């Protein structure tokens, strides 16, 4: 693991507020550094332009140039009339030799200076370093007088001044900018940490709530929400999630309690019957054949009731199969065919009843097994509560499947409870059943995008109506995938 990866890991281990403070300080540092650098560069350019303008305005006396040339050629005794100020004057020959003012450090000639001396350029401005190490700004022009070198060639005149007129204020400015930048970055880091702490307080509350739920499984906790920002939306979503989880857990506990209560009755009956059979075998006291047959029929009935209850519980707990990943649409099912198959099963269970059916074609998208179970449950209810010799009317038209019986009907105060799990009418508790059939119907209808309701029928009995969206003709088949 290299240094960069280790640094990245250490950064990811930092708390979020520390990372926000660091990023804020880094952003401010970059902005301040860019501003300081731009300020320094602009100031340097302006000071250099002013220095160049000053150098261009310096006038060197022709007599001084001639005297300096004569001094350099060894034909004069001294140089007089030097320019005022900290200027260095030197002559540059066409070969690049220089002749410098007395008591001044020599500055090497550049190619630009030689081109001016040779007449190929009118002016040259550059920065050079003198023999004593001082940085100098040099301005070179063609000599306007009669000064020549020892060979009679025209020379160029260079006027130079120390660059400390620019570098000294630049150094001071750099120090000031460095101090201001440091104070700004420190202030930005402090402000960023404060802002991060203030801004992340709702996140801290949310984190504490999540940790509390994970530690105690207390789903009653709620986070106070204010405003409409992302944190408030996240808090409301968390509150909604905990409320949904609490409701789901309550329903689960209620389902377990109800299932245990429903299982207790057939299990108690089974245990009683089996104890009687076991006692008969152990004591040698034979049970009359008719009583033994009745006990066995009761055991068989209780076993069937247990199997039906377990099947209903499995159906309620089963999640719909929507293909791989749960994203594909459910298959198209012919509801009229499902209803016709359910009618055949209902005729076997109610041989004394007349089932009058009229089924128009209707195609829906639903889970085939769940849809068949829902339709069978509706017909089973009608068969169970219909008196012998009566008629059960089944109609399917325009996506509405209606099942009407001529039984005792359902009381008005019981209708709101018919789709609750394990709810059974007091008048029907002596009949076989688990109280889950209509719950399965309601769940299947909801998953298919439809609905179900029960209401009293005109002339007595109950009318059950299952509505499912679909069409009277099947949808076109998907084109085959290209090979």
Does residue 167 contact residue 175 with C-beta atoms inside 8 Å? no
In a domain, residue 278? The reply is yes
In a domain, residue 460? The reply is yes
Q: Which of 47-56, 147-156, 196-205, 226-235 has the highest mean pLDDT?
A: 47-56
pLDDT average, residue stretch 317-345: 74
Q: 388 vs 79, which has greater pLDDT?
A: 388
Angstrom CA distances, 21 to 120, 148, 201, 308, stand at 60, 69, 15, 63
Beta strand 354-359 with 391-397 is parallel
Q: 229 vs 240, which has greater pLDDT?
A: 240
Same domain, yes or no, for 248 and 394? Answer: no
Spatial CA neighbour of 81 closest among 98, 108, 59? 59
Sign of the torsion formed by the C-alpha atoms of 367, 369, 372 and 374? negative
> CATH no. for residue 123?
3.30.450
Total count of domains within the chain: 4
Q: Is the pLDDT of residue 251 over 90?
A: no
In a domain, residue 70? The reply is yes
Q: Is the pLDDT of residue 72 over 80?
A: no
In a domain, residue 476? The reply is no
> CATH no. for residue 311?
1.10.287.130
**Residue 328 banded pLDDT, cuts 50, 70, 90:** low
Report DSSP state, residue 303: H
In a domain, residue 477? The reply is no
Does residue 145 contact residue 163 with C-beta atoms inside 8 Å? no
In a domain, residue 220? The reply is no
Range scoring the smallest mean pLDDT among 153-157, 198-202, 444-448, 453-457? 198-202
Q: Is the pLDDT of residue 53 over 70?
A: yes
Same domain, yes or no, for 312 and 351? Answer: no
> CATH no. for residue 356?
3.30.565.10
Report if pTM > 0.85: no
pLDDT average, residue stretch 373-395: 88
CA atoms within 13 A on the CB side of 97: 12
Distance CA 421, CA 434 (A): 9
Residues 6+ apart with CB under 8 A from 465: 400, 401, 402, 452, 453, 454, 455
In a domain, residue 340? The reply is yes
Q: Is the pLDDT of residue 81 over 60?
A: no
Same domain, yes or no, for 17 and 117? Answer: no
Radius of gyration, alpha carbons of the chain: 51
Same domain, yes or no, for 175 and 33? Answer: yes
Averaged pLDDT score across all residues of the chain = 80
Same domain, yes or no, for 248 and 366? Answer: no
Range scoring the smallest mean pLDDT among 341-355, 420-434, 446-460? 420-434
The long-range contacts involving 194-200, CB below 8 angstroms and separated by at least 24 positions, are 195/20, 195/24, 196/16, 196/17, 196/18, 196/20, 196/21, 196/24, 197/17, 199/20, 200/16, 200/17, 200/20
Altogether, the residues listed in the chain come to a count of 483
Q: Which of 143-157, 159-173, 200-214 has the highest mean pLDDT?
A: 159-173
Q: Is the pLDDT of residue 323 over 90?
A: no
Distance CA 56, CA 139 (A): 7
Q: Which domain holds residue 39?
A: 3-52+169-199
* Phi, psi of 86, rounded to the nearest 5 degrees: -85, 55
**Residue 469 banded pLDDT, cuts 50, 70, 90:** very high
Residue 308: predicted pLDDT: 67
Same domain, yes or no, for 191 and 46? Answer: yes
Residue 407: predicted pLDDT: 85
Same domain, yes or no, for 307 and 339? Answer: no
Q: 36 vs 419, which has greater pLDDT?
A: 36
Same domain, yes or no, for 365 and 438? Answer: yes
pLDDT average, residue stretch 213-218: 79
pLDDT digits (tens, 9 = 90+) for 342-367: 898 888 888 889 899 999 999 999 88
7: left (phi over 0), alpha (psi -120 to 50) or beta: alpha
Residue 483: predicted pLDDT: 44
Same domain, yes or no, for 342 and 454? Answer: yes
Chain position carrying tokens 């017909």: 379
Same domain, yes or no, for 278 and 301? Answer: yes
In a domain, residue 302? The reply is yes
Q: Is the pLDDT of residue 108 over 50?
A: yes
pLDDT digits (tens, 9 = 90+) for 269-319: 788 888 888 888 888 788 888 888 888 887 887 787 677 667 766 666 665
Same domain, yes or no, for 391 and 465? Answer: yes
Same domain, yes or no, for 451 and 400? Answer: yes
Q: Is the pLDDT of residue 481 over 50?
A: no
């Amino acid at each position: 693991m290299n240094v960069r990866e280790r640094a990245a890991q250490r950064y990811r281990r930092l708390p979020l507020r520390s990372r926000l403070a660091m990023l804020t300080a880094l952003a401010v540092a970059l902005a301040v550094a860019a501003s300081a650098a731009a300020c320094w560069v602009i100031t340097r350019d302006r000071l250099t332009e002013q220095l160049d303008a000053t150098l261009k305005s310096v006038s060197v006396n022709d007599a001084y140039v001639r005297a300096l040339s004569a001094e350099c050629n060894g034909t004069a005794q001294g140089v007089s009339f030097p320019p005022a100020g900290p200027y260095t004057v030197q002559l540059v020959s066409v070969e690049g030799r220089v002749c410098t003012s007395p008591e001044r450090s020599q500055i090497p000639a550049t190619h630009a200076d030689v081109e001016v001396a040779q007449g190929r350029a009118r002016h040259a401005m550059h920065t050079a370093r003198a023999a004593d190490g001082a940085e100098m700004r040099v301005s070179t022009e063609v000599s306007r007088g009669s000064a020549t070198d020892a060979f009679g060639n025209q020379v160029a005149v260079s006027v130079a001044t120390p660059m400390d007129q620019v570098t000294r204020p630049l150094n001071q400015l750099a120090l000031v900018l460095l101090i201001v930048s440091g104070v700004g970055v420190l202030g930005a880091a402090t402000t960023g940490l404060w802002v991060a702490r203030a801004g992340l307080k709702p996140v801290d509350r949310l984190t504490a709530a999540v940790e509390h739920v994970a530690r105690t499984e207390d789903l009653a906790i709620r986070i106070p929400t204010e405003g409409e920002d992302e944190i408030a939306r996240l808090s409301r979503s968390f509150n909604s999630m905990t409320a949904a989880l609490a409701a789901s857990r309550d329903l689960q506990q209620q389902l377990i309690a109800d299932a245990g209560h429903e299982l207790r009755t057939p299990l108690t009956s089974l245990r009683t019957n089996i104890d009687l059979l076991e006692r008969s075998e152990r004591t040698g006291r034979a049970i009359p054949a008719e009583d033994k047959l009745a006990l066995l029929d009761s055991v068989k009935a209780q076993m069937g009731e247990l199997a039906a209850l377990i099947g209903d519980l499995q159906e309620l707990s089963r999640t719909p199969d929507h293909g791989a990943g749960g994203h594909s649409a459910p298959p198209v099912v012919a509801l009229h065919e499902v209803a016709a198959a359910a009618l055949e099963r209902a005729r076997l269970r109610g041989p004394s009843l007349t089932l009058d059916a009229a089924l128009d074609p209707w195609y829906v998208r639903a889970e085939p097994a769940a849809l068949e179970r829902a339709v069978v449950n509706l017909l089973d209810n009608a068969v169970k509560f219909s008196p012998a010799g009566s008629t059960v009317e089944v109609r399917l038209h325009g996506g509405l499947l209606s099942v009407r019986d001529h039984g005792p009907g359902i009381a008005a105060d019981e209708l709101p409870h018919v789709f609750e799990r394990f709810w059974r009418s007091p008048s029907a508790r002596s009949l076989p059943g688990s109280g889950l059939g209509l719950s399965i119907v309601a769940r299947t209808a909801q998953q298919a995008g439809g609905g179900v309701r029960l209401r009293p029928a005109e002339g007595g009995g109950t009318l059950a109506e299952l509505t499912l969206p679909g069409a009277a003709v099947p949808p076109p088949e998907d084109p085959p995938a290209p090979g």
